[in-house]
Amino acid sequence: MSPTVRVGEIATLVSNLVDQLTQRLAADDAPARLVVGLVGAPGSGKSTIAADLEGQLKEAGLFAGLVAMDGFHLSNTVLDDLGRRNRKGAPDTFDVEGYLAALDRVRADGAPQVFVPVYRRDLHESVSAGGVVSGTGVVITEGNYLALETRGWGAVRERIDLLIHIDVPEEVLVVRLINRHEDFGKNALDAGHWVRTVDLPNARLIATSVHRCDEVWRNPKDEPDSDDDVNDADDID
């Protein structure tokens, strides 16, 4: 079955999603927690959308916590030892089993409190127990490989109740990602090289698993000639 495609302003899509989740959680047979996943290429806006969704869920009293895939990055020391530091962000540079275990704990009966790692961009490292999932409601998880079928990631999908792919044209991603890498200290040449050799191959891999998602979101502003894409690049993940 193909995913449902929704086109509109992100704020509207998020608001409609909160209404949908409110109804699902009000059902007699609703679980204590629903896990909602946001998946997409680097630079697609997952973290920004997750923050917007978190804010609206908190207003509705339905937010239980955030489990970001980025928190399960292997450390730089481990990546160096494995010879993978030069492609950090690829599927085999994460602790997939740790991520699966965290999702299992989040979904466990009784809605237990779960501490989860978070990724610090200022440190370029994950920090253990930097976030917490507590109480009932919606748990947001976001990352690149939530729908991936291969390389150890296939089991993630079955742990997510609603999975949404954020679809952004590749040429827009390139602009956002180069801006991001330059903001974090790379020169223009190194930023462009990283995008070509790491980010875009990952983005194309992610695109192969869109069919495993429940919904695809597209923002009309995400067009190659949209000024908003360039101006908002600093806040995109």
Span 128-139, pLDDT tens digits: 999 999 999 999
Show Cβ contacts of residue 68 under 8 Å, excluding neighbours closer than 6 positions.
47, 50, 116, 118, 119, 131, 141, 142, 143
Q: Per the domain annotation, does 81 fall within a domain?
A: yes
Q: What is the CATH number of the domain that holds 82?
A: 3.40.50.300
Whether the pLDDT of residue 76 is over 90: the answer is yes
Give the ranges where 73-198 is alpha helix by DSSP (H). 76-82, 96-107, 170-183, 188-194
Which contacts qualify for 178-182: CB closer than 8 Å, 24 or more apart?
179/230, 179/233, 179/234, 180/43, 180/233, 180/234, 180/236
Residue 45 is predicted with a pLDDT of: 95
Q: Is the pLDDT of residue 212 over 50?
A: yes
Domain that holds residue 49: 4-168+210-218
Per the domain annotation, does 234 fall within a domain? Answer: no
Whole-number pLDDT of residue 52: 98
Q: In this model, does residue 19 exceed pLDDT 50? A: yes
Q: What is the band of 49 on the pLDDT scale with cuts at 50, 70, 90? A: very high
Does residue 150 belong to any structural domain of this protein? yes
Give, as one character, the DSSP assignment of residue 27. Answer: S
Q: Answer yes or no: is pLDDT of 151 > 90.
A: no
Number of structural domains found in the chain: 1
Is position 232 within any domain? no
Residue 60 lies in a domain: yes
3-state secondary structure of 134: coil
- pLDDT tens by residue, 53-73: 999 999 999 999 999 999 999
Q: In a 3-state reduction of DSSP, which class is residue 120?
A: strand
Reduce the DSSP state of residue 153 to 3 states and report it. coil
In a domain, 235, yes or no: no
pLDDT, tens only, 83-129? 999 999 999 999 999 999 999 999 999 999 999 999 998 899 999 99
Tell me the angle at which helices 10-26 and 46-59 cross, rounded to the nearest 10 degrees.
Answer: 50
Tokens standing for 174? 């390139």
Residue 223 lies in a domain: no
